[in-house]
Chain A
Amino acid sequence: MPATAPLPARQEGLRKFQKVNDVLERYGWDATNLIAILQQIQAEYRYLPQDILTYVATALGRSPSEIFGVATFYAQFSLEPKGKYEVRLCDGTACHVRRSIPVLQAIREKLGLAPGEQTTKDMRFSVETVSCLGACGLAPVVVINETVYPQMTPEAAVKMLNEINAREDSAQ
């Protein structure tokens, strides 16, 4: 039990749990709305915590294994905590031929991610590839949270990360 977390962070728990119940209420406690429910929960927590999934399963009268199956089927759901900045690099055909992989390598190297690791230890960044963002004219594309970064190069990607880091560091 985290005994030393700062007070506002601790009160988050109950507020978020209330959100989960609001979401379930809005969707009529109906398991046919499961995907929408999971999306809303992920919007709140930035990932799908296991205990919350178990709660959703219990509340919807379904088995946790079924909810887990749905949550792991869709790439949009994450069962691991994600960073504050979610870096999505497009590796669809157009971006791939315009050299998206060197961009990915540069980003991962800059963030010091070990092979298989998605999120930085300070929880600031997560990195994943997606199959197509529908912006092939801007290839190769990186999207960070809601911001689109077109025609990326390894150098531009590192610069962009530096900017975010500088912004975050000064905010602290």
Chain B
Amino acid sequence: MPHMKIDGREIAFDAETNILQVVRKAGIELPTLCYQAHLSPFGACRMCVVDAGARGVVTSCTTPPEDGLEIRTASDRVRRVRKMALELLLASHDRNCLTCGKSGLCKLQDYAERYGVETVRFFNPTDEVKQPIDDSNPCIVRDPNKCVLCGNCVRVCYEHQGMHVLDFAGRGANVTVSPAYGKALADVDCVYCGQCATVCPTGAIQVRGEIDAVTRALNDPSKTVVFQVAPAVRVGLGELFGLPVGTNVEGKIATALRRMGADRVFDTNFAADLTIMEEATEFLHRMETGEGLPLFTSCCPAWVKLAEQSYPELLPHLSTCRSPQQMFGAVVKTYFARDTAQDVADIVCVSVMPCAAKKFEARRPEFAIAGQPDVDAVITTQELARMIRAYGLDFTSLPDEPWDQPYGESTGAAVIFGAAGGVAEAALRTAYQQLTGEELTRDLWQTTAPGETSREAEVTIAGTTVRIATVNSLAAAAALITRMKAGEAPYHLIEVMACPGGCVGGAGQPPHDTLARRACRAQGLAAIDHGSERRQSHRNTAVQALYAEHLDTPNSHAAHETLHTAYASRRRIEESITLEGGGPVMVEVCVGTCCFQQGSYATLQKFGKLLRQHGLDDAVALSATFCFERCGQGPNIAVNGQVIENAVPERAEEIFRDVVLPAITTADACV
């Protein structure tokens, strides 16, 4: 095996692709701002520099290891280069650390202290002019003044999520990370997965906090504050209090929330079991009829938003089941309120989630009754840790208490919702039992290995082979959908989670996350599942009781009212191009990808010609727009907002005669 000499010690290396990995294997923690194991190496931050002798000072993250190479990690030269790089990074950084949400968790702050940067000699442009902060959405806050241009957010958004919402803009000293045209995240097709915040080394991208709304409710004696805690939180929170990664701290969470004044402390796992009862039934129904297959899971709010924006044609394939968070909210506001004879307005439902996008999901208008949201506030694992510290609770010495009943009971199938593959596995366990009357004895898959973004499995149920796929990256989801459309992916059930490793790797989890830590948390969840007495959602007695009392059977009318939802396509691009004319009648021709391929450009040209022939430039405003969300029936055009499908060039004259001309006549009559 080849060897490298690191600080005088011989270190063997094997599959390591860069010197940084070898140095870390040697037990030396080199600093990095821009290095992420699951993203391409970038070499931008210059923190991981090492002294390679005659080769000079090189960035270890972008240099492959070589047999016989001698490097030093703390030579005077290295220390000087690193300290200078830090000083230059700090020079244009908004250094209001005391009021920054990342204070104490910021890598830049840590390194400045660790490597002894005592003064910054350069002028700081953020002292004079601050770039505007983007807090346009409920999930993510971007402060460009704290950005060190490490590019982690750009790469995770493009490489892992395939979204490419963020990129570098500008040049030289004016470079910023920005959505297209400097727009706000709310105005572009961001799905709020928040992975950009997870990989951000500083406070430039953070998950938006809403602790104040929660503490206000806790301090209001007229409110009944009901908490629900997602599965991934219980194996993530402990890390922030020094416990080993993956430790299950659900008992301490229940105690902590009660001490803060929570009236009920429930478990989102209960709702996960409920989700499985609904989703497995839905799946079996679709298997029976053969319609709407493959069935896509709908628990991940980032994935649901992506599907609505970019895959409207797949919406009939999305499970109509609400996510566990929203099922829980609906059950609390409907049945808990009824059973405890409380006014819904007095109940505040707070969820603790490992996720940024759940904050968006909770605010979706369809998840509200008479304007009152089913879930009033969503806090993350990190926010819960902050609350525990603010309430002065010594977390590690708290006793373990159980969840409140009845929504505290859950099975092993529910807890694995928090890791990639878990939702599909849980659904299969119940579907198998419903079809065969027996329990599925083998696990579908072991926990997903770090960095593995897609897996598939086959299960034979009563003679039928069921093919299942799971992806934990939106880029992998897009690739799977492409294969599916090409007829190369004949799956029946497809689970999509946006974040690496599933919800255990969500943006609300402890900061500076690594794939290895995510895998440990997933193992923590698997251990809870394996240790559970009941490992199938249909054996949850509290769920059975809820059906007996209120919901009748899975997919019943009542269940559909409370536990299911509907999807609508969202326009991805709001822009349109004004091309010709003005006047009261608007003709828009879609030039989005699908319509364009189906000949919309020729249609557009014909319309332009017809307008000129008839001398109607004064009466008609012609524009090119991007999507009417009916890609299957393209080319689409809209006359005064009324969409006409299949507007092929050959039909242009007919549409002009039958629709546009009458519209002009009507408009004239109005004048």
Contact = CB atoms under 8 A, between A and B. Distances in A.
Interface of A: 1-5, 7, 10-11, 13-14, 17-18, 21, 49-55, 57-59, 61-69, 72-75, 79
B617 A11 contact: yes
Contact of A65 (B178, B576, B591, B592): B178
A14 B578 CA distance: 9
B361 to A, nearest CB: 24
A5 B577 CA distance: 16
B437 to A, nearest CB: 49
Contacts of B35: none
A158 B158 CA distance: 50
Given A1-B621, A14-B608, A58-B626, A65 B166 contact: yes
A55 B578 contact: no
B164 interface: yes
A75 to B, nearest CB: 8
Contact of A55 (B179, B582, B624): B624
B167 interface: yes
B167 A10 contact: no
Contacts of B158: 63
Contacts of A5: 582
Contact of A10 (B166, B576, B581, B605): B581
Interface in B174-227: 178-181, 188
A17 B577 contact: yes
B573 interface: yes
B181 A68 contact: yes
B149 to A, nearest CB: 13
B169 interface: yes
B622 interface: yes
10 contacts: A11-B608, A11-B612, A13-B622, A14-B579, A64-B180, A64-B181, A65-B164, A65-B178, A68-B169, A69-B167
A66 to B, nearest CB: 5
A63 B165 contact: yes
A137 to B, nearest CB: 28
A52 to B, nearest CB: 7
The SS class assigned to the B binding surface is mixed
A67 B178 CA distance: 12
B507 to A, nearest CB: 19
A67 B167 CA distance: 9
A69 B169 contact: yes
Interface string B587-621: 00001110010000100110010001000010001
Given A61-B593, A63-B164, A54 B170 contact: no
A2 B578 contact: yes
A1 B593 contact: no
B170 to A, nearest CB: 5
A78 to B, nearest CB: 13
A92 to B, nearest CB: 16
A-B pairs, top 7 by smallest CB distance, nearest first, are: A63-B164, A3-B582, A64-B180, A13-B579, A65-B167, A65-B180, A69-B167
Contacts of A17: 577, 579, 604, 624
Given A13-B580, A17-B604, 14 more contacts: A2-B582, A10-B580, A10-B582, A54-B573, A54-B575, A55-B591, A59-B593, A59-B596, A63-B158, A65-B164, A65-B188, A66-B164, A72-B169, A79-B181
A21 B601 contact: yes
B2 interface: no
B485 interface: no
B178 A7 contact: no
B165 A65 contact: yes
Nearest to A3: B582
B168 interface: yes
A62 B163 CA distance: 10
Contacts of A79: 181
B171 interface: yes
B122 to A, nearest CB: 23
Contacts of B168: 69, 73
A110 to B, nearest CB: 27
Contact of B170 (A11, A49, A63, A73): A73
B181 A50 contact: yes
A152 to B, nearest CB: 27
Contact of A68 (B167, B601, B622, B626): B167
A1 B618 CA distance: 12
B511 to A, nearest CB: 24
